[in-house]
């Protein structure tokens, strides 16, 4: 049986992926801050899930939590960093930007570094992140969120460069959703909103194929291609 950790499995995409991995012969370590939601997921399939409660903003604690969870699982093949946060911030209030930076940049980096080093020592493994289409081009709605997702994309590219250069057998997958029907996808102007089950299915399929970059759902690849090409005089009106 393979072993996976899904960081941020309490709700939404992470919960959907964790459930699907469990039905695909994985033992899954599930994390997040809302312990009750993790315990409810575990109750659905007690043998499949192992719970570890932690806040990704507490970066110094992340290695010990991931060490402990990996020990409880009995090894690790796949680490998926799904946790993320971000809100619209029309007044550029730093108290809104800060949690996105601490979670999506600091916490992500601490977890990704732990995972890469673990897999390097082990000689193989698979590290994946749920970034976002929002990382492709800065936008006025949620500046820190978009910037933090661009950071994750670039960081994954850097880790791929490192793994290739050192000829390491570490798969790296950057998962870039458009809109998925979760608590995070709110507000006017959202479209092509995918159900969580559909998004989770495409994510697990991409992970099984060890894909490098994947758009969720698949048609968001079109938006990803077009977004950088939109001239500034049009983009400023969006
Ligand atoms: N939904 C979309 O349309 C969409 C589009 C593009 C990208 N994404 C990305 O998809 C990922 C999952 O989001 P979602 O849409 O499924 O929303 P969600 O239901 O709100 O899930 C967010 C997850 O992140 C965890 N999380 C947030 N802050 C955390 C922290 N400080 N420490 C530990 N875990 C934390 C949450 O767990 P706790 O609150 O229990 O800690 C939860 O499990 C995010 O990275 C998001 O940026 C979503």
At 98-110, the pLDDT tens digits run 999 999 999 999 9
Instruction: Please check whether residue 174 is in contact with residue 152, taking contact to mean a CB–CB distance below 8 angstroms.
Output: yes
Best of 9, 32, 53, 217 for a ligand 1 pocket test (most atoms within 8 Å of beta carbon):
32
Instruction: Please check whether residue 81 is in contact with residue 128, taking contact to mean a CB–CB distance below 8 angstroms.
Output: yes
Ligand 1 neighbours, Cβ below 6 Å, are 8-14, 32-34, 55-57, 82-85, 103, 130, 132, 177, 179-180, 182-185
- % of residues, the chain, pLDDT over 90: 98
At residue 187, does pLDDT exceed 80?
no
Cis omega (within 30 of 0) for bond into 217: yes
Instruction: Please check whether residue 4 is in contact with residue 21, taking contact to mean a CB–CB distance below 8 angstroms.
Output: yes
Report the chain's terminal Cα–Cα distance, integer Å. Answer: 48
Residue 156: which of 178, 142, 176 has the closest Cα? 176
pLDDT mean over 8-14: 98
Instruction: Please check whether residue 186 is in contact with residue 138, taking contact to mean a CB–CB distance below 8 angstroms.
Output: no
What's the gap in Å between 7 CA and the centre of ligand 1? 9
Catalytic residue (one of 145, 151, 155, 235): 145
Cα dist from 23 to 1, 47, 83, 187, 211, whole Å: 11, 11, 21, 33, 20
Helix (H, G, I), strand (E, B) or coil at 3: strand
Q: What is the DSSP annotation of 6-56? A: EES-SSHHHHHHHHHHHHTTEEEEEEES-HHHHHHHHHHSTTTEEEEE--T
Q: At what angle do helices 94-101 and 143-165 cross, to 10 degrees?
A: 20
**What pLDDT, on a 0 to 100 scale, did the predictor assign at position 143?**
98
At residue 235, does pLDDT exceed 80?
yes
Strand ranges (E), the chain:
2-7, 26-32, 49-53, 78-81, 125-130, 170-177, 179-180, 193-194, 213-216
How sure is the predictor about 89, in pLDDT bands with cuts at 50, 70 and 90?
very high
Q: Considering its fold, how many domains does the chain have in total?
A: 1
**Residue 48 is part of which domain span?**
2-235
Instruction: Please check whether residue 146 is in contact with residue 134, taking contact to mean a CB–CB distance below 8 angstroms.
Output: yes
What's the gap in Å between 13 CA and the centre of ligand 1? 7
Cβ burial, residue 209 (10 Å; 0-12/13-18/19+): exposed
**What pLDDT, on a 0 to 100 scale, did the predictor assign at position 186?**
80
In tens, the pLDDT along 41-79 reads 999 999 999 999 999 999 999 999 999 999 999 999 999
**What pLDDT, on a 0 to 100 scale, did the predictor assign at position 189?**
84
Q: Tell me how far apart the alpha carbons of residues 182 and 45 are, in angstroms, rounded to a whole number.
A: 22
Q: Tell me how far apart the alpha carbons of residues 59 and 109 are, in angstroms, rounded to a whole number.
A: 9
**What pLDDT, on a 0 to 100 scale, did the predictor assign at position 188?**
80
- % of residues, the chain, pLDDT over 70: 100
The pTM (predicted TM-score) of the whole model is: 0.98
Length of the chain: 238
Q: What is the mean pLDDT of the chain?
A: 97
Three-point CA angle 156, 38, 180, nearest 5°: 50
At 112, which CATH number? 3.40.50.720
pLDDT mean over 200-219: 98
How sure is the predictor about 114, in pLDDT bands with cuts at 50, 70 and 90?
very high
Indicate if 145 belongs to the active site. yes
In tens, the pLDDT along 120-163 reads 999 999 999 999 999 999 999 999 999 999 999 999 999 999 99
């Amino acid at each position: 049986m393979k072993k996976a950790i899904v960081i941020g499995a309490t709700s939404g995409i992470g919960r959907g992926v964790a459930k699907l991995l469990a039905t695909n012969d994985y033992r899954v370590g599930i994390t997040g801050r809302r312990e009750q939601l993790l315990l409810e997921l575990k109750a659905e399939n007690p043998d499949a899930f192992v719970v570890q409660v932690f806040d990704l903003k507490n970066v110094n604690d992340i290695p010990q939590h991931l060490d402990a969870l990996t020990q409880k699982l009995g090894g690790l093949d796949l680490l998926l960093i799904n946790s993320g946060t971000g809100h619209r911030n029309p007044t550029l209030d730093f108290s809104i930007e800060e949690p996105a930076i601490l979670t999506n940049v600091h916490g992500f980096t601490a977890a990704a570094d732990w995972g890469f080093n673990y897999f390097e020592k082990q000689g193989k493994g698979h590290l994946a992140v749920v970034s976002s289409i929002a990382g492709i081009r800065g936008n006025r709605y949620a500046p820190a969120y978009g910037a933090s997702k661009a950071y994750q994309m670039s960081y994954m590219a850097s880790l791929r460069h490192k793994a290739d250069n050192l000829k390491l057998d570490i798969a790296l997958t950057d998962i870039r959703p458009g809109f998925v029907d979760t608590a995070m996808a709110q507000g006017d102007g959202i479209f092509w909103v995918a159900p969580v089950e559909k998004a989770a299915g495409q994510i697990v399929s991409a992970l099984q194929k060890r894909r490098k970059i994947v758009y969720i759902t698949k048609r968001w690849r079109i938006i990803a291609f077009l977004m950088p090409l939109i001239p500034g005089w049009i983009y400023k009106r969006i």
